[in-house]
Amino acid sequence: MSKVGVMVMGPAGVGKSTFCNSMMAYMESQGRSANLVNLDPAATAHEYEFTIDIRDLISLDDVEDELKLGPNGGLIYCFEFLLKNLDWLDDQIGDYPDDYLIFDCPGQIELYSHIPAMPIVVKHIQQQLNFNLCCTYLIEAPFMVDRAKFFSGALEAMSTMIFMELPHLNILSKMDLVKGKMSKREVRKFLCPDPMLMNDDEVQDDQKDLILTNPKYRRLNKAIAQLVDDFGMVQFLPLDCSDRDKSESLRTIVTCIDNMTQWDENQEPKDPAEDMEEPEDPEDQ
Ligand SMILES: Nc1nc2c(ncn2[C@@H]2O[C@H](COP(=O)(O)OP(=O)(O)OP(=O)(O)O)[C@@H](O)[C@H]2O)c(=O)[nH]1
């Protein structure tokens, strides 16, 4: 059996912990075993107990108290401390042949864009502990309402993909918050982002005041949207954790993760969009 790890990443408050808990519940419902690993030294309690918790090694509270560091400096200190104590992680993760680990990561996106600690931890888990890892990167579905914000989030997702060098899945969290506000046709344009979204004539009246008026910025935003499109690897799967019974989005995400973590370098990677379910559309009901 292979050892699989899912790194759950994304900005603060995007819904990473909620997604981790929903994944645990989904795996349980499918009779599959999974364990939760907390890599956030500032985490609060979870619905599911952590099997492995970085706070057993070092917590942000202790670092702030003892070293008088602020939350961001403290977080970097915690990760540098983890790097010096990777044998702790080895002992914790152990040598289980059929582990499926879900790693809840911190929300500071500098960890996914330029601070080298997270890629080093990831490489260690891959190469020393022989896990097949993938990254799930969350951005909030309500970003779709402000298109510049959405493409900015897509760039962050791309930056993480490039920096982490892992099989990568983008997820639009909190889909329930846009239900009834966007049609299925509109949502579909964001799942495989269409650079035409940045065209003014595509903007709805109630969103016009959100658009930057400086034409230079508009041109720049369009160019960036085109870059995201040209890159061709930025696609999103919808996720709604508001109702556990609606496990359809989780099923699709877990299927994509299964495909990515069994990925053989001699095989063409499977296109996650192939498993994509159409998001529910209130207008169709
Ligand atoms: N409506 C809605 N709210 C959600 C969903 N997922 C998460 N939330 C809410 O978003 C807030 C943040 O969720 P968390 O899961 O703690 O987010 P996080 O990314 O782990 O946050 P940090 O650990 O602080 O970075 C909480 O109030 C959640 O209840 C969702 O699918 N729908």
Task: For ligand 1, atom 8, name the residue with the nearest CA.
Answer: 15
- Is position 229 within any domain? no
pLDDT at 198: 64
Beta-bridged to residue 215, according to DSSP, are: none
Using the mean position of ligand 1's atoms as its centre, give its distance from the Cα of residue 173 in Å.
Answer: 9
pLDDT at 187: 86
- Is position 101 within any domain? yes
Position 231, amino acid? F
Return the CATH number at 20: 3.40.50.300
Alpha-carbon distance of 229 to 149, in angstroms, equals 16
Using the mean position of ligand 1's atoms as its centre, give its distance from the Cα of residue 242 in Å.
Answer: 10
pLDDT at 180: 85
- Is position 73 within any domain? yes
Using the mean position of ligand 1's atoms as its centre, give its distance from the Cα of residue 16 in Å.
Answer: 6
Alpha-carbon distance of 249 to 14, in angstroms, equals 16
Alpha-carbon distance of 155 to 253, in angstroms, equals 21
- Reference 195, options 162, 163, 234; nearest CA is 234
**127 CB burial (10 A radius; 0-12, 13-18, 19+):** exposed
pLDDT at 266: 47
Backbone angles phi, psi at 132, to 5 degrees: -85, 110
Regarding the beta carbon of 18 and ligand 1, being less than 6 Å apart is answered yes
pLDDT at 271: 53
Which residues form the domain of 156? 4-194+234-284
Using the mean position of ligand 1's atoms as its centre, give its distance from the Cα of residue 140 in Å.
Answer: 10
- Is position 53 within any domain? yes
pLDDT at 269: 45
- Is position 8 within any domain? yes
Regarding the beta carbon of 240 and ligand 1, being less than 6 Å apart is answered yes
pLDDT at 265: 43
- Is position 221 within any domain? no
Alpha-carbon distance of 101 to 122, in angstroms, equals 13
- Is position 262 within any domain? yes
Alpha-carbon distance of 232 to 218, in angstroms, equals 22
Residue from 7, 17, 54 whose mutation best tests the ligand 1 pocket (most atoms within 8 A of CB): 17
- Is position 199 within any domain? no
What is the block-wise mean pLDDT of the chain (285 residues), using blocks of 10 residues? 89 95 92 93 86 94 88 92 95 78 94 90 93 95 85 88 92 91 84 69 52 66 75 78 77 92 54 54 50
Question: Can you tell me which atom of ligand 1 is nearest the CA of 11?
Answer: 25
Question: Can you tell me which atom of ligand 1 is nearest the CA of 107?
Answer: 25
On whether ipTM exceeds 0.95, the answer is yes
Alpha carbons within 13 angstroms on the beta-carbon side of residue 82 total 29
Q: Is the separation of the CB atoms in 27 and 98 below 8 Å?
A: no
Question: Can you tell me which atom of ligand 1 is nearest the CA of 239?
Answer: 31
The total domain count for the chain is: 1
Question: Can you tell me which atom of ligand 1 is nearest the CA of 177?
Answer: 1
Regarding the beta carbon of 140 and ligand 1, being less than 6 Å apart is answered no
How far CA 214 is from CA of 128, 148, 217, 218, 236, in Å, comes to 51, 13, 5, 6, 29
